Amino acid sequence: MSIKDKIGLRIKELRIKNKLTQEKLAEMVNIATKHQSYVETGKNFPSAKLLENYAKVFKISEEELLTINHIKPVNELSKEISKILKNTNDSQKIIIYKFLKALVE
């Protein structure tokens, strides 16, 4: 995964955490919605000014914005989740299921 992809996923992660649509975030950082989509998918790399704007919108430092060491491809995450689930008993699986269901609703 390239750094452009990781930065894009980080911005998407923060956008979702802050309950913003791509359209609303694009408006807040003064770019087109299509450009926002390209940033999030790693097609475009945000300028230094745009990174500053994202940090202001998310109310975090630029350093925190660029913290990408935890970003992993989805297929890698799926493998890790499967490993975790294999090591749980039925009661733990029920709790995990309820937590995940509540999280996405």
Q: What is the pLDDT of residues 24-34, one digit of tens each?
A: 999 999 999 99
CATH of the domain at 55: 1.10.260.40
- Quote the domain boundaries for residue 25: 3-65
Same domain, 57 and 21: yes
Write down the pLDDT at residue 81: 86
Same domain, 17 and 57: yes
Same domain, 57 and 91: no
Yes or no: say if 94 and 101 are a contact pair by the CB < 8 Å rule: no
Same domain, 15 and 59: yes
Same domain, 46 and 83: no
Residues 20/1/82/100 CA torsion (nearest 10 deg): 0
Q: What is the pLDDT of residues 36-85, one digit of tens each?
A: 999 999 999 999 999 999 999 999 999 999 888 776 666 777 888 888 89
Query: Has this prediction a pTM greater than 0.85?
Result: no
Q: Which of 79, 25, 80, 101 is nearest to 57 (CA)?
A: 25
Write down the pLDDT at residue 73: 67
Same domain, 78 and 61: no
Write down the pLDDT at residue 104: 82
Same domain, 57 and 79: no
Higher-confidence residue: 105 or 60? Answer: 60
The Cα–Cα gap between 6 and 4 comes to: 5
Higher-confidence residue: 1 or 57? Answer: 57
Half-sphere exposure of 89 (CA within 13 A, CB side): 1
CB atoms within 10 A of CB 26: 19
Domain total for the chain? Answer: 2
Same domain, 96 and 53: no
Write down the pLDDT at residue 72: 66
CB atoms within 10 A of CB 40: 21
